[in-house]
Amino acid sequence: MADVLALDGTGRAELADEELRELYRLMLAVRHLDESAIRWQRQGLIPGYAPQLGQEAAQVGSGYALDMSRDFVFPTYREMGVARTVGVDMVEYMSTHKATWHGGLYDPKASRFAPIQAVVGGSVLHAVGWAHGQTLDGTPAGELGVAITYFGDGASSQGDVHEAMNFAAVMKAPVVFFIQNNGWAISVPTERQVAGGSVAGRAAGYGMPSIQVDGNDVVAVTQATATALAHARAGNGPAVVEAMTYRRGPHSTSDDPGRYRTLEEERTDGGEDPLARMRTRLLADGIADEAFFEEALAAARAEEEQIRAGINALGPRPGTEMFDFVYQEPTQALKAQASAWREESEHV
């Protein structure tokens, strides 16, 4: 798909064979974990989950382009694939879906991955603040840390997204706005959500470059994201990447897509599966063989089993933590409530 505005940063060169194989391995691990999480919900291991089936290429490709020594990720609640790609501890990540702790148990500062966020569009502004902070630090252009903020076609309706794009463009903050346009905001299709049909198309109004990319092509996503990151890192300000993809599954484990789309529509609109596409490509180019795919599958299964065991072993956090993390300097009133809770709940 076409660039809406040309980016002047330099993108990523051709990916090496091992990088292409790694992209496939990551997508497969993510696919496996995602499908398992739905089963875990049906089995009662976790109370809920927001699947990202079909968005593996968009998530893995964009995450793969990041430089995690200096960039920072601002996710929503459907970025498991990004989290896995950039190395967030997956048991600690999934703990939010086990209802152990809002935001997840991972250390967002060390992981450079902000807490999982339920307010649609809310964290897009945080990315702008964080990114502006990088320019205030006096880091030279070319070495700037970039904030990448993930959101969807639904969130693009939020006023905060407009404010974020405007602030970032006015301040030339190093932000990449990464939209996964997956066709559906729960039950509302993109055409009833995004006027003009494209979030990337809005970028021109802010004087920002943008790329609309085939979000089911992991290589194209990696390169588009790398190009946008290079633009921001060089001190040229923000950029938009809109990955056109498809949410093949339900919005969440509580959703019933049968109420708003038919299976036939899903098959037609979903297009080719991003994993199958990459597999075909790797085979055609002689980059991978059947042995590689078997090995990748075995690795994904082993990883999934390990994560399942970790989640299974997660007990509830001590109730004291309800009180411990409200403030850095807790109030007397809160301390009194904590001690009353201890006594009255016989946790003395």
Partner 1 sequence: MSMQQALNRALAEVMTENPRALILGEDVGQLGGVFRITDGLQKKFGEARVFDTPLAESGILGMSVGLAMAGYHPIPEVQFDGFAYPAVNQIICQVGRMNYRSRGKLPMPITLRVPSFGGIRAPEHHGESLEAMFAHVPGLKVVSPSGPNEAYHLLKYAATRQDPVIFMEPKSRYWQKGPVNTGADAAGYRPTGSRVVREGKHLTLVAWGAMVARCLQVAELAAEDGIEIEVLDLRWLKPIDAEGLAASVAKTRRAVVVHEAPRTSGLGAEVASIISERCFGTLKAPVERVTGFDVPYPSGDLEDEYIPNIDRILYGIQRVLEYRRG
Can you tell me the distance from the alpha carbon of 159 to that of 9, in angstroms, rounded to the nearest whole number?
A: 29
Can you tell me the distance from the alpha carbon of 221 to that of 57, in angstroms, rounded to the nearest whole number?
A: 7
Q: How far is CA 237 from the centre of its chain?
A: 21
**Cβ-contact 57, 216 below 8 angstroms:** yes
Nearer to partner 1, 107 or 191 (CB): 107
Query: Residue 340, SS3?
Result: helix
Q: Which residues of 122-160 are buried (b: 16+ CB within 10 A; e: fewer)?
A: bbbbbbbebbbebbeeebeeeebbbbbbbbbbbbbbbeb
Catalytic residue among 97, 247, 248, 277: 247
| CB atoms inside a 10 Å sphere around CB 25 | 20
Nearest distance, CB of residue 308 and partner 1, angstroms? 23
Nearer to partner 1, 18 or 343 (CB): 343
Nearer to partner 1, 130 or 184 (CB): 130
In eight-state DSSP terms, residue 113 is B
Query: Positive or negative, the Cα torsion across 180, 185, 189, 195?
Result: negative
Catalytic residue among 260, 261, 281, 301: 260
Q: Which residues does 219 contact at the CB level (< 8 Å), separation at least 6?
A: 15, 20, 23, 61, 278, 281
Catalytic residue among 21, 233, 251, 279: 251
Nearest distance, CB of residue 209 and partner 1, angstroms? 20
Nearest distance, CB of residue 317 and partner 1, angstroms? 9
Judge whether 260 counts as a catalytic residue.
yes
Phi, psi angles (nearest 5°) of residue 289: -125, 180
Residue 152 Cα distances to 54, 79, 181, 241, angstroms: 14, 11, 5, 11
Question: For binding to partner 1 (CB under 8 A), which residues are involved?
Answer: 72, 101-103, 105, 107-110, 114-115, 119, 122-134, 136-137, 147, 159-160, 163-164, 166-167, 170, 321, 324-329, 331-334
Nearest distance, CB of residue 338 and partner 1, angstroms? 13
Judge whether 102 counts as a catalytic residue.
no
Nearest distance, CB of residue 200 and partner 1, angstroms? 21
Can you tell me the distance from the alpha carbon of 151 to that of 172, in angstroms, rounded to the nearest whole number?
A: 20
Nearest distance, CB of residue 328 and partner 1, angstroms? 4
Nearer to partner 1, 108 or 189 (CB): 108
Nearer to partner 1, 159 or 196 (CB): 159
Q: Which residues participate in catalysis according to the annotation?
A: 247, 251, 260
